[in-house]
Structure 1
């Protein structure tokens, strides 16, 4: 298939483009949000091709994968074609949890019966009001980067993009609480702003995916502090690498992390107590991480993810 998809979430897209298709990614001269083009720090295959708005008008497509509400209008303006029943088949991937009052959680495409909404967790499908749109779930899939746990760094690791701007949503304030008793290093975009807000906290920005995974594996455990998110891919990647995980019990975390892989709790003090125990007992930490890796390979394997997507896309194109 020839698939058009904007580069929105690089980590998710890295898995999606591993399939046997041709992928077209819009690009603008300034590589801004509506045209980032190919990822610069992730390994994407040659089947991912950049396409300009002008080229889009004359390119045949089998399906359009939408990820933001604005892309409906962008496609119509750039390609001069409609989407859905009277145009190019389309699906909408919902990566995010809704915002605002619970009574207003109607999905932007809830009134369209011709564009399926694909949620990345069952939690998302449950909390969004999908209206008359067909709603499906395809859980995340992550490539197996191999067992990478070393655990010789006496600190937890958390992966948070823009941790200051997304302070309570991302649980950055909970990271600040944990650091009072257990060291934490935070990786992600915008982490350079963290030390000014949380003295003594180490923030590391601008790493390639390979560098990030290598550094994550050095830490004795992974901290997932998010209050309100679908399910961070970094949590799954941490389990794939073999790190034991500590997660705030919100959204889909309870379904993603089995008890043998670590601890999911709404009580930060319990997470801190468990982290302190792992520091004293590295054998337990390693065993938890190995159990988490086995679970992640079963539930979040790349082959299952790609098979699920192939099946859905074939139905949409048909």
Structure 2
């Protein structure tokens, strides 16, 4: 297949384009030296395509990620997503402040199924009668890099100051009595002026490979997010073999299985768990090994790509005029399709 996808989420795109298809990544320009949205990544089967060249491409399906892409694709290709061009809508985010009352932008549309990245997201978004499915996250395996040699707490948060309560940035000082925190991510350096606490260190601009290596040197991983889809950083930390402590919010309670870390809505519980991992390195390594085993089984790249193949092929087969419908026999008229591969 030739799949059209805007590379707006680098980490997710990195996993998605590792399948067996050809991936077309639209960019404003592909001139050397310009910021094209794909620089810094090395993808064997993906290629950037200038916007003005999209009309000549033989696109089989488009994976939409923003509502405005529907009109954009039509203007650039001359084909209407969901009518002339098979399409799915990949929803990365949790709903807005209205949480379970927030209507999805594609709610009630029958021509473009919505693909949620977590079961929590599908549950909380008001999708109306739109067909929905879940393709859980998958990440390339960075390898069992965990050493835990540094008795410090690792955190990965992009834009921690701007996103603040959503990412649990305000909770970070609660953990400094246990150990210093190293916070990796975009604009993490702003934490220096925000807290004026030398125990909270912001570290920016690390390439993925370097980030994984540095994170794995920390004894324990903290995931303080209140309101977000399941962060890829949590799954990556588990792949590394790190023991994790996480707020029991959104999809984290499903991702962190018993024996692979500690999840709680009580910050004091998480502090005690972090302290225990810090004080008992052998136990931390044991829990981290189980976390890695769980992550490989449930968030590994092969299963992720296989699930996506099923969704894409189904969407192409169900294009208008095929006589197929998205709803399964047990949907009760709610037009919800689930794929067996994601069941545990």
For 1:150, what is the secondary structure of its paired residue?
coil
Among candidates 111, 116, 119, match of residue 113 of structure 2: 116
8 Å Cα contact 1:148-1:217 kept in structure 2: yes
Determine the structure 2 residue equivalent to 1:65. Answer: 63
1:251-284 deviation digits (Å, cap 9, x = unpaired): 0111100121110010111111111111211011
Determine the structure 2 residue equivalent to 1:79. Answer: 77
1:153-212 deviation digits (Å, cap 9, x = unpaired): 111111100000000000001112212432111001111111100222211111111000
8 Å Cα contact 1:249-1:266 kept in structure 2: yes
Matches within 5 A, 1:87-126: 87-102=84-99, 104-126=101-123
**Would you identify which runs of 4 or more consecutive aligned residues in structure 1 move more than 3 Å?**
none
Q: How far has the Cα of 1:36 moved from its partner? A: 4.1
For 1:254, what is the secondary structure of its paired residue?
helix
Among candidates 158, 162, 172, match of residue 159 of structure 2: 162
* C-alpha RMSD of the superposition: 1.5
Q: How far has the Cα of 1:70 moved from its partner? A: 1.6
Q: How far has the Cα of 1:78 moved from its partner? A: 2.0
Question: What count of residue pairs does the alignment treat as equivalent?
Answer: 312
For 2:259, what is the secondary structure of its paired residue?
helix
For 1:165, what is the secondary structure of its paired residue?
helix
Q: How far has the Cα of 1:30 moved from its partner? A: 9.5
8 Å Cα contact 1:38-1:48 kept in structure 2: no
For 1:288, what is the secondary structure of its paired residue?
helix
Give, in whole Å, the separation in 1 of the partners of 2:30 and 2:140.
Answer: 30
Give, in whole Å, the separation in 1 of the partners of 2:165 and 2:141.
Answer: 31
Q: Does residue 1:251 correspond to 2:259, yes or no?
A: no
Give, in whole Å, the separation in 1 of the partners of 2:235 and 2:195.
Answer: 26
Q: How far has the Cα of 1:46 moved from its partner? A: 2.5
Q: Which runs of 5+ in 2 are unaligned?
A: 318-344
Q: Which runs of 5+ in 1 are unaligned?
A: none
Q: Does residue 1:38 correspond to 2:38, yes or no?
A: yes
8 Å Cα contact 1:10-1:39 kept in structure 2: no
TM-score (norm 1): 0.95
CA 1:288–1:39: 2 relative to 1, 3 Å: farther
Determine the structure 2 residue equivalent to 1:54. Answer: 52
Determine the structure 2 residue equivalent to 1:311. Answer: 310
8 Å Cα contact 1:17-1:48 kept in structure 2: yes
Determine the structure 1 residue equivalent to 2:219. Answer: 220
